Amino acid sequence: MKHLVARPSKGFGLLDLMVSLVVFSLLIALAVPTYTQFVDRAKNAAAVGDIGSLAVEIGRFSVNNNDRLPATLDELPMEVPLDPWGNEYQYLNIRTAGPGNGAFRKDGNLNPLNSDFDLYSAGADGESAGPLSASKSRDDIVRANNGSFLGLGEDY
C-alpha cells in the first residue's frame, strides 16, 4: 500500500481569495474618485469652451448688426449646444433688460458680473442663484468681467 503524502495545492485557497478581494477593493476605492474628478474637470472644461465659443459668436453677431446684441441665443447663426450636463446655456442681454433687473449674475459683494450680457451654465446640479456666493451657484460655469473670466463660479 502506498502512504498518503500531502501535496501542495494547485488552486486558490480561501485566504488567497480574501487577500485578492481586499486588494481589488482598495484599488477600486482609489480609482473611482479619481475617475469621477477627471470626468468633472472634463465637463467643466467643455462648458468653458462652449461659453467662450458662444461669446465669440455673440460678438460677431454684434459687429454684423450695428452693435446690437441678440435678444436670445436662438438669434445666433449657429446651433447652440446643450451644456455637458444636458441643460441649456443661460443668456441675458443686460443692455435691453435695463437696470434693476434681479436676474443679473452677481459676485459675492452683489456687484454685476458683466455690463454687456450674462452667459453661463448652471453646472452639474442644474440649479443656480443670482449671486455666486450662493451654494447653488458654486458649480456654475460663468462668464464674468465682460469675458475676462471664464470658469467655475467658486473660482471667481
Q: What ranges do the domains of the chain cover?
A: 40-155
Rounded to two decimals, the pTM is 0.79
Cα–Cα distance for residue pair 56/79, rounded to 1 Å:
14
pLDDT in tens, 41-100: 999 999 999 999 999 999 999 999 999 999 999 999 999 999 999 999 999 988 887 665
Distances (CA, A) of 64 to 57, 68, 84: 10, 8, 29
Q: Are 69 and 62 in contact (CB under 8 A)?
A: yes
pLDDT in tens, 100-148: 555 678 887 778 888 889 999 988 888 888 788 888 888 889 999 988 9
Grid cell of 30 as nine digits: 482609489
Cα–Cα distance for residue pair 22/19, rounded to 1 Å:
5
CATH number assigned to the domain covering 40-155: 3.30.700
Cα–Cα distance for residue pair 65/140, rounded to 1 Å:
30
What's the chain's length in residues?
Answer: 156
Which H or E run includes 128? none
